[in-house]
Amino acid sequence: MTTATLTRPIKTALEEIQNLSILTGRTVSAFVRPPFYWRDTWVQMDVIGVQSLVIVSLTGIFTGMVLALQSAVQLSDFGASLFVGQLVAASVVRELGPVLTALMVAGRVGSGIAAELGSMRVSEQIDALEAMGTDPIKKLVKPRVQAGLVMLPALTVITDTIAIIGGQVIAWLTLNQGFSTYWNAALNGLFFSDLFTGLAKPFVFGFIITIVACYMGLRTTGGTEGVGRSTTQAVVVASVLVLASDFFLTKLFIEIFGH
């Protein structure tokens, strides 16, 4: 095995990182430079946000119910079942809500964006835009990234709320715990740092998912087979980056807030 064979994957990875960084820089700079294509942004907000409501709602309700069910069993052994609401709320708002919402959106929206842009690339529609003097970054990438930045936090809030309500249902059915008891514990268990963390993470996740999906779509080659490959890569890479960034963001917020 030659040295070139060993270093080729490293060079390829570094080239991908470089190209993604260039796309990120061009997209961010396009935020403040016209044209802004607000209509396209509204359309993407509907695609990313409104059309994802069903899947994030189902994710939230079952996450909250499972979390409450498991915690009810464990806490009952120690006579601490009154803290079920606190455990569910803190776990969902800090970690599970942002991460699970991001993963669901990466699977549904990330794949869709990569497939759409990939199809436009292989059918030379993007080349046609460039020939007409339209910047594909401003026309195609920027609206999707802007929509992701807005809608991921909104979807996360919906997921968190539904998950906590799901926990309330299980607490009532399993522990006969009243509405006020559960919600007092849930609200008392949340702090400003939890709310800040729960909204800051999806903002970052939304950017990661949309920029990675756009990058994978724009670099598509090889016809329809290439579109399928780019779609898979978009979901896998975005999901891995979401989980990795979640670790570093959690570490950062622990250093800032102390807990």
Mean pLDDT of 222-230: 88
Residue 36's pLDDT band (boundaries 50, 70, 90)? confident
Convert the pLDDT of each residue in 74-124 to its tens digit: 777 667 777 888 889 999 999 999 999 999 999 999 999 999 999 999 998
Which residues 6+ apart lie within 8 Å of 70 measured at CB?
none
| Predicted confidence band of residue 259 (pLDDT cuts 50, 70, 90) | low
Cα 156 from Cα 55, distance rounded (Å): 12
Nearest alpha-carbon partner for 62 in 157, 180, 193, 163? 163
Give pLDDT, residue 221: 87
pTM: 0.92
- pLDDT tens, 166-214? 999 998 888 888 888 889 988 888 888 889 999 999 999 999 999 999 9
